[in-house]
Structure 1
Amino acid sequence: MINLSTGAFYERSATQIGALRARAENLQKQIGTGERLEKSSDDPVAAARLRMLDREERISKVDTRNSEAAENNLKFTDQALSQMTVMISRARELALHAANATTSDEQRASIATELDGLRENLLGLANGRNASGHSLFGGQAVGNAYDVDPVTGVATYVGTATLDEVEIGEGQTITPGNTGPQIFSLEAADGTQSDVFAELAALSTALRGGGQASADAAREGLSTLDTSFEKVTTAQTVLGSRMAWLELMTDRRTDNLERIADERSVMGGADPAVTMTRLQEMMTVLEASQASFVRLANLNLFTMLR
């Protein structure tokens, strides 16, 4: 009976001390990681909520990447549009000068040369790329938005008709740019379709022809350039509203991430002060249990020896 009771005593004491040590180690781990849940069974409700928070955070990270890519494209597009307004304004000044009756044919020919340069620069902007190398005005197409015939110089849009929207959170989407036709296409009075590149080329050719016809072409070109300038500035306004909306959604997403972090801390975080106090209490109990075990073990041994 003595051997059986002593064996049970040792086994029970070892189990109790082992459990105390495990709890102390768990508290030490909580202090190190800042998390109080080691497994879902520790707090099933909190664990389920933490999984939901993790899912929200993953979705938010995807929305953040989409927003950053959209912002990148919108900024590059805005810069290109700003340069276009300068070039179109300059083209209008040249057309106004060419329409003046006192302007000579030689001067109009010189103006035509400058218009050719402006057209080439506009095409360069139309085929511009963003930081990732994607076409700014080609929609979803890979490569340039406009293909220029090496012989005739005619520019043809080779991009897609639309640009896919991207999700930026809370079920909201944004179009991260414009297609070429949205910016450069023009409709003549008779309903025929053209674009600013073709109109500039036609104006340049007319100015080189000289005479009254060149002056008349310049006056007609003023109206075309006014329309083109209006389309570009309207695109800038729309782009600005998109960038403002993107910024608002980014701020809301940042606030939401802060909420997730706070809730995660409440649901699964280990309060350092409370955890440290519990650890100190646990260590005190463990030390007392170990001391008690030693005393009782010695007493049992003494009884057996007697």
Structure 2
Amino acid sequence: MIRISSQQVFSSGISRLQELNASLNKTQQQIATGKKVNQPSDDPVAAARILKLDQEVTRIETYQRNASLAQNRLQQEESALASAVDLVQRIRELTVQAGNGSLSANDRSSIAEELKQRLDQLADIANTQDASGEYIFSGFQGDQPAFVKQPDGTWRYNGDEGQRVLEIDDGVTVAISDHGKGIFVDVPAAVSVKSATVTTGHISDLTLDNSQALRNAFGGAVPDDLTVVVAADGSVTVENRNVVPADVLTTDPSPLQVGEEFEVAGLRMTVSEDTTAGEFTIGISDKQSVFGTIETLIAGLESLDKTTPDGQAAYDALIAESLINLDNAQESLILKQTELGGRLNAVESTQAFLEDSGLYTKEIRSELEDLDYAEAISNLSFQSFVLEAAQQSFAQVAQLSLFDRL
């Protein structure tokens, strides 16, 4: 015969009631949180997988924020450059207008005044700030304006050449800024006369018609500048003094002469007939700031005297060079716009990928974690019923004693 003490009966009953109550509490907690797994002990394997999925969701959301930031910065830069392109186009139209030979001095002065306003507008665009107040074209010096007006009234670049990048996915980075030096300052300049030692005379109609011919003339390396030498007898030679001894591109038996248009290695020009002996230095591979181009144009409109042959030639050269420089500046802006478009496409593709990855990860996590309310409520009803029945049975057993059996 097995003897069961009253203490064993009570302990067994209480243990059973605790188990049923724990199951009921667990179901109630699941219904309250909407989750099947609220602590690792509920399902250790599922809990471990949910933890990894939570980390993956956090990683994806971080990259999504970075991608959104990159998109905003690039769109802001793209908008600024679009405004700059339109502004340079207006300045070009004014330059063409200034080249009209019938304009009076007052007309040219009026054009110069509008150019000053457009120049300030361009500086405002180049000093665009993002939502946090950083200057987007200042490189790493975002707390400093990209362009600062100097005491002499000219605009100078104030930032550095840094380019900020942002990681938008594992191993995927995108540049989210471009320094103003590369966009507005280091722009190819028109071939122009940089200096001269002649007493009188000038070079007109100076253009580079064939850049490949110029490269071929120097073995593929275009010199920074060339020297046009005018002799006392009116003969002209073109020299490359970047090497020793200098390369002379034009010699007898077909010497070039003042007053005649000629072309040397793709470079076309006319040396005026009244030019005295001396030299002209021609810039070939120079860079120009679009600000400097506009400033030079304004100064020329206000100061050049068109009543003399040299003054008229200088004015014509100013207009021609300004148009080429403005075209180059506009091309630089458009090329950067195209580059930005490529970056924006990459960001948008990454955003789409991250969105899909996030949805997939959350779906898997939901399958492991989210509660089936219908099933849980059914379980709760059943567990409540079982617990209530167990409590009633335990209460009846607890009232029994040995004398009830006698």
CA–CA separation in structure 1 for the residues paired with 2:38 and 2:105: 86
Indicate the RMSD between aligned Cα atoms, in angstroms.
Answer: 2.1
1:53 aligned onto 2:50: no
1:207/1:217 contact within 8 Å kept:
no
1:98/1:215 contact within 8 Å kept:
no
- Provide the residue aligned with 2:299 in structure 1: 205
1:297 aligned onto 2:298: no
1:227 pairs, out of 304, 328, 335, with 328
Cα deviation, 1:231-285, whole Å, max 9, x if unaligned, reads 1122222222322322222222222222222111112222212222222222222
1:100/1:215 contact within 8 Å kept:
no
Amino acid aligned to 1:93: E
SS at match of 2:5: helix
CA–CA separation in structure 2 for the residues paired with 1:273 and 1:226: 71
- Provide the residue aligned with 1:85 in structure 2: 85
CA–CA separation in structure 2 for the residues paired with 1:278 and 1:100: 92
| Bigger strand fraction | 2
45-54 vs 242-251, greater mean Cα deviation:
242-251
- Provide the residue aligned with 1:116 in structure 2: 116
- Provide the residue aligned with 2:72 in structure 1: 72
Q: Counterparts of 1:18-33 in structure 2 under 5 Å? A: 18-33=18-33
80-89 vs 66-75, greater mean Cα deviation:
66-75
Cα deviation, 1:46-77, whole Å, max 9, x if unaligned, reads 12211111111222222122222222222221
2:98/2:111 contact within 8 Å kept:
yes
- Deviation, structure 1 residue 160: 2.3
Which has more radius of gyration? 2
1:72/1:130 contact within 8 Å kept:
no
1:265 aligned onto 2:266: no
1:43 aligned onto 2:43: yes
Amino acid aligned to 1:283: S
2:115/2:294 contact within 8 Å kept:
yes
CA–CA separation in structure 2 for the residues paired with 1:289 and 1:12: 12
Amino acid aligned to 1:171: G
2:164/2:177 contact within 8 Å kept:
no
CA–CA separation in structure 2 for the residues paired with 1:256 and 1:240: 24
Query: What is the count of residue pairs matched by the alignment?
Result: 304
226-235 vs 68-77, greater mean Cα deviation:
68-77
1:287 aligned onto 2:381: no
Q: Counterparts of 1:134-153 in structure 2 under 5 Å? A: 134-141=134-141, 142-149=143-150, 151-153=151-153
2:109/2:301 contact within 8 Å kept:
yes
SS at match of 1:254: helix
1:11 aligned onto 2:8: no
CA–CA separation in structure 2 for the residues paired with 1:56 and 1:88: 47
- Deviation, structure 1 residue 136: 1.4
Amino acid aligned to 2:148: D
| Bigger helix fraction | 1
SS at match of 2:153: coil
172-181 vs 97-106, greater mean Cα deviation:
97-106
Q: Which runs of 5+ in 1 are unaligned?
A: none
- Deviation, structure 1 residue 90: 0.7
Cα deviation, 1:19-51, whole Å, max 9, x if unaligned, reads 101110100110111112232233222122111
Q: Which runs of 5+ in 2 are unaligned?
A: 192-283, 307-311
- Provide the residue aligned with 1:252 in structure 2: 353
- Provide the residue aligned with 2:188 in structure 1: 187
1:119/1:197 contact within 8 Å kept:
yes
CA–CA separation in structure 2 for the residues paired with 1:48 and 1:82: 51
CA–CA separation in structure 2 for the residues paired with 1:71 and 1:303: 86
- Provide the residue aligned with 1:158 in structure 2: 158
Residue identity over aligned pairs, in percent, reads 30
Amino acid aligned to 1:133: G
Flag the structure with more relative contact order, 1 or 2, with Cα contacts below 8 A and sequence separation at least 6: 1
CA–CA separation in structure 2 for the residues paired with 1:206 and 1:296: 113
SS at match of 2:395: helix
- Provide the residue aligned with 1:63 in structure 2: 63
CA–CA separation in structure 2 for the residues paired with 1:166 and 1:210: 53
CA–CA separation in structure 2 for the residues paired with 1:157 and 1:3: 99
2:188/2:325 contact within 8 Å kept:
no
Cα deviation, 1:185-222, whole Å, max 9, x if unaligned, reads 21334222321001110111112224112233112211
CA–CA separation in structure 2 for the residues paired with 1:11 and 1:45: 33
CA–CA separation in structure 2 for the residues paired with 1:67 and 1:153: 40
Cα deviation, 1:73-107, whole Å, max 9, x if unaligned, reads 22221221121111101111111111222233332
TM-score after normalising by structure 2: 0.70
